[in-house]
Chains A and B, each alone.
Chain A
Amino acid sequence: MIEEGTSFLTVNDLVVEYTSEGSVIHAVNGVSFSLERGKTFGLVGETGAGKTSIAKAILRILPDPPAKIRRGQILLEGEDILKLDEKAMRKIRGRKVSMIFQDPMTALNPIMKVGKQIAEVIKLHNKATNKQAEAEAAQMLELVGIPADRFNEFPHQFSGGMKQRVIIAMALACNPELLLADEPTTALDVTIQAQVLEMINKLKRELDTSMIMISHNLGVVAEICDDLAVIYAGEVVERGSKEAIFDRASHPYTQGLFAAVPTLDEEKERLAPISGLPPDPSNLPIGCHFHPRCPLADEQCKIEKIELREIESGHYCRCIKVAAMEN
């Protein structure tokens, strides 16, 4: 597992389960990673791999029931936030750690003026008067590129990309130290995606914020992250620096992901998909969770749980075949 160093955020052996009508859904199964101050960490994986559950566990906003954090530590500046009480947690939410939500269409209160929604966050954390908070909110709007004179408009008067900017302004309003971006560009079309990403990147640099970027889009991750982890069935299957993973993808799943991305410089008739579907999280395969879909799998992969191994300095991979190849 991860050594307890001076990392800004360390997630250690996190296990999240959902209980649904008697069956247990293993959403996150022992995920560990760490993040340095000012850096961006990417979580990549398919829908349902457990990426959002990890982010919500960090903010402790998983709906309980049905979700339960079974095990693990989340150390924020050395303090385990899973052990904090609700009161201490509320000092962290929105102020130290804040989240950009996935769907700009539903993440804003439809009957509240957008400026007021940003001012609300500011007021909740600072002892600001209404006037100060509103002035600050107007500045935040300008910062994300929305003219301040649209302060008094309602969310339905904004386009999707602008709504996402408002959500980003809300998340950044109290200058958080850690930003959890949960697929911030998924609901946007490609040209707006680029703008929003560029803006997130710029603001992050200006405000010196650390960030966890959740995405299923490798292009987004390439643009923005320093390190990343590939999540499959609630487990980290490969973790390392962006360069290590993009240049030397080792896990068969990661390789499959890259093979499924179209490239500009190569002529291809068809993309190579990963066969099969993600496993049922209430009934995960024994051994390597990826073995039913893995081209390299043999009997050995079906027997025991595979551990994450270091295949080169700082580059971890959860595959016995890869380790064998290296040796």
Chain B
Amino acid sequence: MLNSTEIAATPRTSKKQSQLTVVLRRLSKNPSAMIGLVVVVVLVLMAIFAPLIAPFPYDKQNLLSTRKAPSSEHIMGTDELGRDIFSRIVYGSRYSLSIGFLAVLFSNFIGMTLGALAGYFGGLVDDIIMRLIDIIQSIPGILLAIAISVVLGPGFINTLLALGFGAITMACRLMRASVLGIRHQEFLEAAVSNNASTFRIITKHVIPNSFAPVLVGATMSIGNVIMSAAMLSFIGLGIQPPTPEWGAMISGGRALIRSCPWMVTFPGIFIMLTVLAFNMLGDGLRDALDPKLKK
């Protein structure tokens, strides 16, 4: 009873191509996304293998060679206490990247959950969640982060929470919009008619189908969070010296910016590179996940 032509018509080559491999292949054709990806991978490796890469311990002071300009021994120079700036930057990537990843993970977990609930249930649930999000969003992001970190005090976890909290709004809005787009598709109705519980429908059908824009948003917001984290350390909140956080390093060197520009320039370059790389990767991901958006 089955017509074999129908099967034969389906190209066998496409057989094992899952969505993921298709997306990765599209991503690999996008040069700027690949540059972004390479930079991100290099930064991550740098963070993981910091003790192997850094020529000096990040807190080793050498009062005999303070404020040295870049040289073959200290390729990015030394700071006012004679610490090797390159080593500090290498170790600093651990803090910047982990704050970026974890704050975004935290905010997107909460934001996605709220957004999926708001979009799926609609009505009163939607109203309550979205008004809460409106309230959070009505406070300028930087002000909110400063206020929270003042209340919680400095430190790694507190900075992470302070930065993650403000980013909930974007994840929530993205997720809600994306869920609304698929809310009335028949496969959700089919899932109800097949007796799937609401929890199962949301976790198995709704979230995976609305995930793409949130993923793009998350990649982009890693860059933003890293920048905000640097900003918080710069104004003395967030992660405290002697931890070699990039923002804190810039803050430490700002008084000497005229005589020793390398103390602020190199951490600044790394912040810029990181943010740029994440944004390029995010842009590429968006194009790869939804090729229709690209003209």
CB within 8 A of B7: which of A98, A107, A109, A147? A147
Q: What chain B residues lie within 8 Å of A195 (beta carbons)?
A: 1, 3
Q: Are B190 and A167 in touch, CB under 8 angstroms?
A: yes
A167 to B208, CA, bound (A): 20
Residue A33 CB within 8 A of the other chain: no
Q: How distant is the Cα of A170 from the Cα of B191 in the complex, in angstroms? A: 10
Q: How far is the CA of A65 from the CA of B122 in the complex (A)?
A: 10
A146 x B2 contact (CB < 8 A): yes
A218 within 8 Å of B (CB atoms)? no
Asked if B190 and A101 make an inter-chain contact with CB atoms under 8 angstroms apart, the answer reads: yes
Complex: chain A residue closest to B194, CB-CB = A94
Across the interface, do A170 and B190 meet the contact criterion of CB distance under 8 Å? yes
Partner among B187, B190, B195 whose Cβ is within 8 Å of the Cβ of A125: B195
Is B15 touching A153 in the complex (CB atoms < 8 A)?
yes
Q: Is B186 a contact of A159 with CB atoms below 8 Å?
A: no
CA gap between A158 and B10 in the complex, in Å: 7
| Chain B nearest CB, measured from A325 CB (Å) | 43
CB distance from B5 to the nearest CB of A (A): 11
Contact of B195 among A65, A94, A112, A198 (CB under 8 A): A94
With an 8 Å Cβ cutoff, the count of chain B residues facing the other chain is: 30
Q: Is A37 an interface residue (CB 8 A)?
A: no
Task: Report the minimum CB–CB distance from B190 to chain A (whole Å).
Answer: 5
Q: How many A residues face the partner with a CB closer than 8 A?
A: 42
Partner of B192, one of A61, A150, A162, A199: A61
B186 in contact with A111 (CB, 8 Å): no
Whether A109 pairs with B10 at a CB distance below 8 angstroms is: no
Residue of chain B at shortest CB distance from A117: B187
Using Cβ atoms and an 8 Å threshold, which residues of chain B touch A95?
195
Q: B194 contacts which chain A residues (CB < 8 A)?
A: 93-94, 98, 120-121, 124, 170
Interface residue from B14, B186, B204 paired with A103 (Cβ < 8 Å): B186
Q: Count the A-B residue pairs with Cβ separation under 8 angstroms: how many? A: 84
The answer on a CB contact under 8 Å between A161 and B6 is: yes
Decide if B195 touches A159 in the complex (CB within 8 Å).
Answer: no
Interface of chain A residues 166 through 192 with chain B (CB within 8 A): 167, 170
Interface status of A90 (Cβ within 8 A of chain B) = yes
Contact in complex: A157, B14 (CB < 8 Å): yes
- Chain A residue at minimum C-beta to C-beta distance from B184: A63
State whether B187 touches A162 (Cβ < 8 A): no
> Among the listed A107, A111, A157, A161, which residue makes an inter-chain contact with B208, where contact means beta carbons less than 8 Å apart?
A111
- Known interface pairs A109-B205, A111-B19, A153-B15. Does A159 touch B1 (Cβ–Cβ under 8 Å)? no
A170 CA / B186 CA spacing, docked (Å): 14
Shortest CB-to-CB span from A217 to chain B, Å, is 19
Query: Contact at B2–A157, with CB atoms within 8 Å?
Result: no
Interface code A285-312, partner B: CB below 8 Å = 1, 0 otherwise? Answer: 0000000000000000000000000000
Which residues of A have CB within 8 Å of B196?
Answer: 120, 124
Enumerate chain A residues within 8 angstroms of B14, measured Cβ to Cβ.
157
Indicate whether B243 reaches chain A with its CB closer than 8 angstroms.
no
- Residue of B2, B18, B123, B192 near A154 (CB, 8 A) is B18
B193 within 8 A of A: yes
The CA of A195 and the CA of B3, in the complex, are separated in Å by 9
Shortest 9 CB-CB contacts between residues of A and residues of B: A145-B2, A94-B195, A94-B194, A107-B186, A93-B195, A106-B186, A99-B193, A121-B194, A109-B187
What are 10 of the A-B contact pairs (CB < 8 Å)? A106-B186, A109-B205, A109-B209, A110-B187, A112-B205, A121-B194, A152-B16, A157-B14, A159-B10, A170-B194
B residues bordering A, Cβ < 8 Å? 1-3, 6-7, 9-10, 14-16, 18-19, 123, 185-187, 189-197, 200, 204-205, 208-209
Beyond A61-B192, A121-B194: 13 further Cβ-contacts under 8 Å?
Answer: A59-B193, A90-B195, A90-B197, A101-B190, A102-B186, A112-B208, A121-B195, A146-B2, A152-B16, A154-B19, A170-B194, A198-B1, A202-B1
